[in-house]
Amino acid sequence: MKKMKLHTHRLNRSLGGDICIALFLFLFGSFMALPMIYAISTSLKPADELWVYPPRFFAANPTFKNFKDLFSILDDSLIPFSRYVGNTLFVSIVGTGGHVVLSSMCAYAICKFKFRGKNFIFNLVVLSLMFNTTVTAIPNFIIMSKIGWIDSLAALVVPAFGSSLGLYLMKQFVEQMVPDGILEAARIEGANEYRIFFTIVMPMVRPAWLTLIIFSFQGLWNLSDTNYIYREDLKPLNYALHQVLAGGVTRVGASAAATVLMMMVPIILFVFTQSQIVETLATSGMKD
């Protein structure tokens, strides 16, 4: 008998290939980080460097005066700065938490329960993703006015609960990553649906809802829509910082500092959860 020769192939790349890929990723990542680096650098420039032509990328004499000016302007306003921060934190945290829980529950029901019309409901959700917020602004305002939520933070929090993106994302992951056999075994052991959902389903789709937290929190943190809020003490932080821009050229440095403050919180949140986002993107196209 002739001995069969087994041909093995290296699945890993060569050292040169690894170096080239690492170099490419470094250059591409540096290019993507340039806007953020420039924003931080601009916020540290003194007034005489903000109007230099051609503009300099890095500050020659960095200073924190722009941040001091920003807080001085906010301290002189009628509403305390902490109130704007509190409004934004409340809307961002409560809106994100409700959105994650509600969209996950709906996704679990659509994927793992049989009832009439579930495909029609999901198709409506997918269809709603096509509509821009500008198109639905007037109908939403009429609804908020009819139920008496004008000048109420509920007008910002409750609509965030029912965002279509969360249900669409969670439905795909619950369908792909939660086997029916595990759910049936839990039911046989006597676990109710709430216990199954919180102790089995949610841990299995953890990368998905952590990614959803990033998207939802970032959108609510940057919310400056005042269509429903007219009371100054209920307006979000982004609105207050945009008021700084209304001061003209004398507040260019303060507005640059405001831009950095607004983008730092989502960036910090992303840094702590980036591995989960990568895992979500890596498994989003996998099928059993």
Of 44, 43, 36, whose CA–CA distance to 61 is shortest?
44
Outline where the chain has alpha helix (H): 15-43, 47-50, 65-75, 81-112, 118-128, 137-146, 154-161, 164-177, 180-188, 193-196, 202-204, 206-221, 237-245, 252-283
The pLDDT tens digits of the residues spanning 210-220 come to 888 888 888 88
Tokens of 68: 């001091």
- Whether the CB-CB separation of 73 and 240 falls below 8 Å is answered with no
Residue 84: half-sphere exposure toward Cβ, Cα within 13 Å = 22
pTM of the model: 0.75
The predicted pLDDT at position 12 comes to 57
Q: Looking at residue 97, what is its pLDDT?
A: 92
Tens-digit pLDDT profile for residues 222-237: 887 668 888 888 888 8
Burial class of 205 by CB neighbour count within 10 A (0 to 12, 13 to 18, 19+): buried
Nearest in space to 166 (alpha carbons), one of 220, 235, 237, 91: 220
What are the structural domains of the chain?
70-283 (1.10.3720.10)
